[in-house]
Amino acid sequence: MSSRCLSDEAFAIAGEIVAAYGRQYLVDCGESGLIASTPRGKKSIYACGDRVAVRATGPGEGVIETAMPRKTEFFRASARRAKLIAVNATQVAVVAAAEPSFSDEFIARVLLAAERQGLRAMLVLNKADLAAPFARARERIRPFEQAGYRVVELAARHDVEPLRPHLAGMVTILAGQSGMGKTTIINSLVPGANSATREISHFLDSGRHTTAHARLYRLDAETALVDCPGLQQFGLAHLAFRDIEWGFPELRALIGACRFQDCRHATEPGCAIREACAHGAIHPRRLALFHRIASEAAKR
C-alpha cells in the first residue's frame, strides 16, 4: 500500500477505549468499528474508558492523537506509582461471594478509593445459591451495610436482574477479588459479551479464563460496565490519615467532634468516634478496618 493512499485516507475518528494492555488500546469507534491503537508518544498514558481521537493508519489499526479530559479516575497506588484501572466511570460495585472466601479489608479499601475518587459505591453479594457459605458471607458484609452501603444479593449464574436497576445510567466498574463472579455478571447482563471477550482476549494476549485486563462493555449511550481483573491487593499509598478518615462515610460525619483536633481515635479521651462505636452507631469491624488501613498512612 502506498503511503500517499494512507495519508489521504487518514482522518481522526472519535472513540472510547474499551480495553487497554500495555501500549495497546482497543478503541470502539462506533460505526467505524474496533480499532487497535497505539499512543503517539512513548508512554501508555490512557486507560479503559478514555474518550479519544484515533487516526487510522491501516485497516483496523490506528494511532491515538488526543484524549478528552477525564471526569473521574479510578486507581490504586503502591508507594512507587499509581495504577489506573478505568476512567470516566461513575460507580464502583465491589463484588463479593459466598465462596471463595473474601477479604473484608480488600472491600473496605476499594470502597475507600471510590469515595476519595468521587465515584458512587455499592456492594454485590454473589452466589446466593450456596446457602450456608452465603449466610456467613452476608454476616461479614453487614458492617458495610450498616455504614450505609447498598448491598445487592444475587446468584449471577441464575439471575442477574436484581442488579440491573442499580446500573441504569451509570458507568459501573465491577471490582473484586478473583472468582467472585464479575465476568459471570457481565456475561449475563451484556448481550454478546461472551464472544466479545473471546475476541478481545485473542487480540490482547491469551485465551485465559480469568480476566486479565479491564474491559468496558457499553449497554447504551449512558450505561456501561467495566470488567476488571481480580485483584488481591488494593494499595492506597496516596492517602494520608485525614483522607482515610474522610473516606469512611460513618466517620466523616463525626470529623471534628473529638476533644482533640489531632485525635487518631485510638486511646485519646473524649473520642467521638470511639464513643459512637460503643453506642453501636459505628460497627466495631469498620473501626478496626479503619485503624488497620490508617496505620499504613501513619508510617509514611
Determine, following the binding rule CB under 6 A, whether residue 162 of this chain makes contact with ligand GTP. Answer: no
Determine, following the binding rule CB under 6 A, whether residue 254 of this chain makes contact with ligand GTP. Answer: no
Residue 280, sorted as left (phi over 0), alpha (psi -120 to 50) or beta, turns out to be left
- Between CA 87 and CA 90 the distance in angstroms is 9
Asked whether the beta carbons of 99 and 177 are under 8 A apart, the reply is no
Segment near ligand GTP (CB under 6 A); pick from 41-49, 141-149, 173-181, 274-282: 173-181
For ligand GTP, the binding residue among 23, 71, 116, 157 (CB under 6 A) is 157
Determine, following the binding rule CB under 6 A, whether residue 210 of this chain makes contact with ligand GTP. Answer: yes
Of 287, 282, 283, 234, residue with least CA distance to 264: 287
SS (H, E, C) 247-299: CCHHHHCCCCCCCCCCCCCCCCCCCHHHHHHHCCCCCHHHHHHHHHHHHHHHH
Determine, following the binding rule CB under 6 A, whether residue 127 of this chain makes contact with ligand GTP. Answer: yes
Determine, following the binding rule CB under 5 A, whether residue 273 of this chain makes contact with Zn ion. Answer: yes
For Mg ion, the binding residue among 177, 183, 187, 197 (CB under 5 A) is 183
Give the amino acid at 4.
R
Q: Of Zn ion, Mg ion, ligand GTP, none, which one sits near residue 271, judging by CB under 5 to 8 A according to partner kind? A: Zn ion
Determine, following the binding rule CB under 6 A, whether residue 172 of this chain makes contact with ligand GTP. Answer: no
Residues that bind ligand GTP (CB under 6 A): 126-127, 129-130, 155-157, 176, 178-184, 210-211, 229-230
Residues that bind Mg ion (CB under 5 A): 182-183, 211
